[in-house]
Amino acid sequence: MNVLIKSATIVDSKSDFHNQTLDILIEKGIITQISKHIANPKKYQEVKLDNLHVSQGWFDSSVSFGEPGFEERETIANGLKTAALSGFTSVATNANTYPVIDSSADITFIKSKSKDHAISLYPIGALTKSGEGNDLAELFDMKNAGAIAFYDYQKAVSNPNLMKLALQYASNFGGLVMSFPQDSNISGSGVMNENRTSTSLGLKGNPTLAEELQVSRDLFLLEYTNGKLHIPTISTAKSVDLIRKAKQQKLDVTCSVAIHNLLFTDEKLTTFNTNFKVKPPLRTQKDIDALIEGLKDGTIDMVTSDHNPIDIENKKIEFDFAKYGTIGLESAFGALQSVFTLKKSIELLTKGKKRFGIESNGIVVGSKADLSLFDPKFSYIFSKNHIISTSKNSLFENSQLKGKSYGIIANNQLVLN
């Protein structure tokens, strides 16, 4: 693939070209020239777009595609198309399929489905067999097959000894263990944040204590084992404090937050819109403020869309029985920019790669072209027309967003909206 990008503002704080508007020549997937004006005698395809900006390719550490088993929610092919058109060049996919991705053969299957695609797909293997929390899955074999981490998606490992063994065993081969921050014995059948709002709505509450107890337990286990832990999608102020202290103790821990937990409070559930039924639940403004501060000071390492397509049959039903989850790839960039500056938004969309062992390619001559293309100024109301996913369960519908993706250049391919 040979492409000439014209008049693009480069957003890459580690590049000498940061904040400069330049042409970028890409030949056979490699950046061969960056300059104020590049001629095009070979008649390569030119990319000229309004207010075009480029950055290193974005990465999402928690994406769910239904295949295999739940293709009515999303297929891998359409999921990758959605990610690419949303500006992501790499995604880590969760194991919440049917059957659950818990063996090397499963990892090989998932990787084969993404072969030759512009997007790089990195499978996360289940931590326990069938994701049931009873016995460890084939962690080492899955690692060798290409799994980048191990996680029972949105399922807490209630047995502390099993989590201890997982951290100890995975440390032998540098495996990254992920633990969902929720004590299910405390959360019980709660469907939203336990607060004044849940009481007024008559819905069972899930207290912040459920998350904080689990985070605290896992950090104690991490300290004991000297393992390697990632805590996905924290949602409370105290969780931020606990992880901040753990990092000060030099424990090998990272964490993420779902973008929607940075924008919406539990008061959004007063309409009983099941798209706002997510896990962990939407919390309070105090929690949001702490999460944002945690991202600013580096306590929270990355953001995720926590993209989780759910078919209409499992969403358009009574709130108590609706499944948890929202799609988020299409709205991720525009939502993030409503909270942070452009520079910080791009940093948060790219810095998770290192933790998951994914190569970063800077915007420099000689580097592999792994680029996200976007317009950071474009303002719009997000609607169903902007949804590419098969499922339409977005809690960002009717929200004002700032910034849109044009597409990506990655793996020697150009994908544009």
Q: Which residues are catalytic?
A: 306
Q: Reduce the secondary structure of 14-74 to three states and give it as a string.
A: CCCCCCCEEEEEEECCEEEEEECCCCCCCCCEEECCCCCEEEECEEEEEECCCCCCCCCCC
Which residues have a Cβ under 8 Å from the Cβ of 244 and sit 6 or more positions away?
Answer: 294, 297, 299
d(CA 167, CA 70): 30
d(CA 106, CA 102): 7
Maximum CA extent, the chain:
69
Tokens of 251: 């424990």
d(CA 214, CA 283): 17
Residue with tokens 């940061």: 18
Scanning 268-396, the segments in alpha helix (DSSP H) are 285-296, 332-336, 342-350
- Evaluate whether 125 touches 139 at the Cβ level (below 8 Å): yes
